[in-house]
């Protein structure tokens, strides 16, 4: 059994490695370098990193309190709330995207936002909104199970030791939820970098305006510019690799790979 399982693992490692490496090496190196230096790819890198950072930050800020209330508090409609927050998980991002497009594009709320200077449809802000909408449910789920796993008695003891409610949360609950928080952040960040469907629907695919790396890949492959597409893909692979190595280096307690 051991031999069978190990050889299966080895096969998969070789396959994943070969396909990713093959992708990077399929373009002539000189062409790859010039594509990477092109203004379009440089723009896409910056836009992806910027929107990804912002949406990850917003996801954490929202998911921490929401996940905690789902884990700890009892309130009417808790099951419905949990369902509503879980549903986007199982939806194709394209569906989430079109729902967002209709919400921001055709309702009075969308118009009010637009007049206030926060236009969402077909704008870079739309990228952030789409990423948050798709990724937030994942982060809430991960954090909720982290919080559920912490015995509330830790919080009780902290309070008898003089910690206020907020102090308990910051000094006991959050540090104890750290592994989930780190893992959730990595997943949110990586998914934000790669988000395609929802971003395409809500923010469109305007070159040099809402063109993130996945969209650059898509636009260039549809126009037949294979080298540019490979350049975008190479950058995405590099970002994933750096993310995993950085987290592993920063946090010894958390096993990333």
Partner 1 sequence: MLRIESLTTSLGDFSVRDISLEVRDNEYFVILGPTGAGKSVLIETIAGIHFPSSGRIVLDGRDVTRTAPWSRPVGMVYQDYMLFPHLDVGENIAFGLRQRRVPAARRREQVIEICGLLEIDHLLGRSPGSLSGGEQQRVALARALVLEPKVLLLDEPLSALDGPTRERMRAELSRVRRLTGTAVLHITHHFEDVFALADRIAIMRDGRIVQVGETGDVFLHPADRFVAEFLGIGNIIRGRSERFGSVVRITTTSGVTFSAASGTLGEVVATFHAEDVILSGAPFASSARNCLEGEVLGVVPCGSTIQVRLDVGFPLTALLTRESCHDLALSPGVRIFATFKASAVHLIPVGS
Taking the complex as a whole, the smallest distance from the CB of residue 244 to partner 1 amounts, in Å, to: 23
Taking the complex as a whole, the smallest distance from the CB of residue 165 to partner 1 amounts, in Å, to: 8
For the chain, the straight-line distance linking the first and the last C-alpha, in angstroms and rounded, comes to 24
Q: What is the spatial distance between Cα 192 and Cα 130, in angstroms, rounded to a whole number?
A: 9
Q: Could you say which residues in the range 78-107 bind partner 1, by CB under 8 A?
A: none
* Greatest pairwise CA separation for the chain in angstroms: 66
Taking the complex as a whole, the smallest distance from the CB of residue 186 to partner 1 amounts, in Å, to: 20
72 binds partner 1 (CB under 8 A): no
Residue found by looking up tokens 């009892």 in the block: 74
157 binds partner 1 (CB under 8 A): yes
76 binds partner 1 (CB under 8 A): no
Residue 130 in tokens: 């789409």
Among 136, 158, 217, 230, binds partner 1 (CB under 8 A): 158
Taking the complex as a whole, the smallest distance from the CB of residue 143 to partner 1 amounts, in Å, to: 17
Taking the complex as a whole, the smallest distance from the CB of residue 175 to partner 1 amounts, in Å, to: 4
Among 18, 61, 167, 250, binds partner 1 (CB under 8 A): 167
Among 36, 60, 163, 244, binds partner 1 (CB under 8 A): 163
142, 120, 134, 143: which is closest to 214 by C-alpha? Answer: 134
Among 7, 9, 26, 164, binds partner 1 (CB under 8 A): 164
Residue found by looking up tokens 């540019």 in the block: 228
Taking the complex as a whole, the smallest distance from the CB of residue 163 to partner 1 amounts, in Å, to: 5
Q: Render the burial of 107-133: b for 16+ CB within 10 Å, e for the rest.
A: eeebeebeeeeeebbbbbbbbbbbbbb
Q: Render the burial of 36-55: b for 16+ CB within 10 Å, e for the rest.
A: bebebbebbbebbbebbebb
Residue 97 in tokens: 């995207």
Among 64, 125, 172, 219, binds partner 1 (CB under 8 A): 172
154 binds partner 1 (CB under 8 A): yes
Q: What is the spatial distance between Cα 201 and Cα 244, in angstroms, rounded to a whole number?
A: 29
Among 4, 153, 224, 257, binds partner 1 (CB under 8 A): 153
Contact footprint for partner 1 (CB under 8 A) = 151, 153-154, 156-164, 167, 171-172, 175-176, 178
């Amino acid at each position: 059994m051991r031999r069978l399982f190990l050889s299966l693992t080895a096969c998969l490692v070789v396959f994943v490695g070969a396909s990713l490496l093959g992708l990077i090496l399929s373009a002539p190196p000189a062409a790859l370098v010039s594509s990477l230096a092109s203004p379009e790819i440089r723009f896409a890198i910056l836009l992806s990193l910027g929107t990804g950072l912002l949406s990850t930050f917003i996801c954490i800020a929202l998911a921490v309190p929401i996940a905690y209330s789902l884990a700890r508090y009892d309130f009417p409609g808790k099951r419905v709330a949990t369902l509503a927050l879980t549903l986007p998980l199982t939806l194709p991002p394209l569906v989430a995207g079109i729902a967002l497009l209709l919400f921001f594009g055709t309702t009075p709320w969308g118009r009010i936002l637009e007049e206030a200077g926060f236009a969402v449809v077909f704008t870079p802000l739309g990228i952030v909104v789409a990423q948050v909408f798709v990724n937030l449910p994942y982060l809430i789920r991960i954090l909720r199970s982290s919080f559920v796993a912490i015995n509330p008695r830790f919080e009780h003891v902290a309070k008898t030791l003089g910690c206020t409610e907020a102090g308990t949360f910051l000094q006991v609950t959050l540090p104890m939820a750290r592994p989930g928080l780190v893992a959730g952040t990595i997943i949110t960040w990586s998914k934000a970098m790669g988000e395609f469907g929802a971003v395409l629907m809500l923010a469109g695919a305007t070159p040099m305006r809402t063109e993130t790396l996945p969209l650059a890949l898509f636009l260039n492959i549809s126009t037949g510019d294979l080298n540019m597409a490979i350049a975008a893909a190479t950058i995405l692979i590099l970002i994933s690799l750096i993310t995993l190595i950085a987290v592993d280096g920063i946090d010894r307690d958390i096993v990333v790979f």
